[in-house]
């Protein structure tokens, strides 16, 4: 069985987490790795149905995803997790769960500045917030606690999608995980 790992991509809405995860997943699958992308939106439709965006609900969401990712990773899957995870203590709890089980865990900060994210505005959330139709948007009127020492920081505004995905791939390779 190949070695699994959780690769958590944290960052603001529209930072590029999902795009990088899918680009990387394609490359890893081509090479024969077993890969799952635990997409935030999908998880919220099923595993976390009914949860909102309060601090408590976001924490619960992140712990559930961390639990599933660890199970997958422990069984040889590369679990790619493009989920905001705005709170340091939530992310730390997920890291600890992996550590306790001896499962590899990488934290990638997709550190695209909020100005760039709000211009990309893939889902129109920044526009909605600006129009007063939405409150509690991460990075605008809700907290985002940036990781202090992630395993990798990606400045997606200065790179192509392929370059960003390649930098995560390089890290996995360096750690003997790809």
Ligand X SMILES: Nc1ncnc2c1ncn2[C@@H]1O[C@H](COP(=O)(O)OP(=O)(O)O)[C@@H](O)[C@H]1O
Ligand Y SMILES: Nc1ncnc2c1ncn2[C@@H]1O[C@H](COP(=O)(O)OS(=O)(=O)O)[C@@H](OP(=O)(O)O)[C@H]1O
Residues that bind ligand Y (CB under 6 A): 13-14, 17-18, 40-41, 44, 53, 58, 61-62, 83-86, 123, 125, 136-138, 142
Q: Nearest distance from residue 175's CB to ligand X, in Å?
A: 21
Residue 53 site contact among ligand X, ligand Y, none (CB < 5 to 8 Å, cut-off depends on kind): ligand Y
> Chain centroid to CA 70: how far?
14
Beta strands in the chain (DSSP E): 5-10, 35-37, 78-82, 105-110, 152-154
Binding residues for ligand X (CB under 6 A): 11, 13-20, 82, 120, 122, 156, 159-161, 164
Sign of CA dihedral 110, 140, 117, 78: positive
Ramachandran region of residue 106, left (φ > 0), alpha (ψ -120 to 50) or beta?
beta
Contact 172, 7 (CB under 8 A): yes
Residue 164 burial (10 A CB sphere; 0-12, 13-18, 19+): buried
Q: Nearest distance from residue 14's CB to ligand X, in Å?
A: 5
Residue ranges for the known binding site for ATP are: 11-18
Q: Nearest distance from residue 25's CB to ligand X, in Å?
A: 13
Residue 156 site contact among ligand Y, ligand X, none (CB < 5 to 8 Å, cut-off depends on kind): ligand X
Q: Nearest distance from residue 107's CB to ligand Y, in Å?
A: 13
Instruction: Kindly tell me which of 85 and 178 has the beta carbon lying closer to ligand Y.
Output: 85
Cα-based torsion angle of the residue sequence 35, 41, 43, 44 in order, rounded to the nearest 10 degrees: 170
Instruction: Kindly tell me which of 94 and 125 has the beta carbon lying closer to ligand X.
Output: 125
Residue 16 site contact among ligand X, ligand Y, none (CB < 5 to 8 Å, cut-off depends on kind): ligand X
């Amino acid at each position: 069985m190949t070695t699994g790992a959780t690769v958590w991509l944290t960052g603001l809405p529209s930072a590029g987490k999902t795009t990088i995860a899918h680009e990387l997943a394609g490359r890893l699958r081509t090479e024969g790795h077993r890969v799952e992308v635990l997409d935030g939106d999908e998880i919220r439709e099923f595993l976390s149905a009914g949860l909102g965006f309060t601090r408590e609900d976001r924490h619960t969401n992140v712990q559930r995803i961390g639990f599933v990712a660890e199970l997958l990773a422990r069984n040889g899957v590369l679990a790619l997790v493009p989920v905001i995870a705005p709170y340091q203590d939530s992310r730390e709890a997920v890291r600890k769960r992996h550590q306790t089980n001896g499962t590899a865990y990488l934290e990638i900060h997709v550190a695209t500045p909020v100005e760039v994210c709000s211009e990309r505005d893939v889902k129109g959330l920044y526009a909605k917030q600006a129009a007063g139709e939405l409150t509690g948007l991460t990075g605008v009127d809700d907290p985002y606690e940036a990781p202090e020492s992630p395993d990798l920081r990606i400045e997606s505004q200065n790179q192509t999608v392929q370059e960003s995905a390649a930098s995560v791939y390089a890290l996995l390779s360096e750690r003997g995980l790809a």
